[in-house]
């Protein structure tokens, strides 16, 4: 399968999303002032991976998503073609996605969450863990059903309001 330049750029952004937390470890050694260092580390650990993954998925399109999906499945020893998940696999996938969503949103509502010693010392592992939860939930446990449902969420479809019944 020949891959377009747009898909290759998108896949590059997806890969960058996965490895950007590593850049957060390199930033302190670059000699920037404290404000810039803190901002860059925060971006590379907290917001950057999600931005890169989202941008990459838009650029890669369906072709790139299929290519990455096949590679991820191969990595976990799953068949590259579409497969149906059983009900327990699907439920585990939904739990992984909900847990990922909670871990991404919750810290924003807790003052000084990133200043807690346990979180501050393990932020890199927390970031990688949350990204892995999403990947596991969608690609590994969710099967083709999960990918189909997620694609239905972002696809626009015309919708008509139900007709009102007139009372006589």
Global pTM value: 0.51
pLDDT tens per residue, range 88-144: 888 888 898 899 888 888 887 888 887 888 888 888 888 888 888 888 888 778 777
* Residue 77 exposure: Cα atoms within 13 Å on the Cβ side: 0
Residue ranges of the domains in the chain?
1-77, 82-158
- Running DSSP on this structure, what letter comes out for residue 108? G
């Amino acid at each position: 399968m020949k891959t377009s330049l747009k898909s290759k750029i998108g896949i590059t952004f997806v890969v960058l999303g996965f490895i950007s937390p590593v850049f957060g470890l390199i930033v302190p050694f670059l000699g920037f002032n404290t404000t810039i260092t803190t901002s860059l580390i925060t971006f590379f650990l907290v917001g950057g991976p999600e931005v890169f993954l989202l941008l990459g998925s838009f650029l890669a399109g369906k072709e790139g998503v299929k290519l990455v999906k096949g590679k991820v499945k191969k990595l976990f020893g799953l068949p590259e073609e579409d497969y149906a998940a059983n009900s327990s696999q699907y439920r585990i996938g939904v739990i992984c996605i909900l847990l990922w969503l909670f871990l991404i949103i919750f810290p924003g509502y807790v003052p000084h969450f990133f200043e807690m010693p346990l979180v501050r010392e393990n932020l890199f592992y927390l970031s990688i863990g949350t990204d892995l939860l999403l990947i596991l939930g969608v690609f590994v446990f969710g099967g083709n059903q999960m990918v189909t449902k997620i694609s239905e969420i972002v696809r626009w479809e015309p919708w008509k309001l139900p007709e009102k019944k007139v009372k006589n």
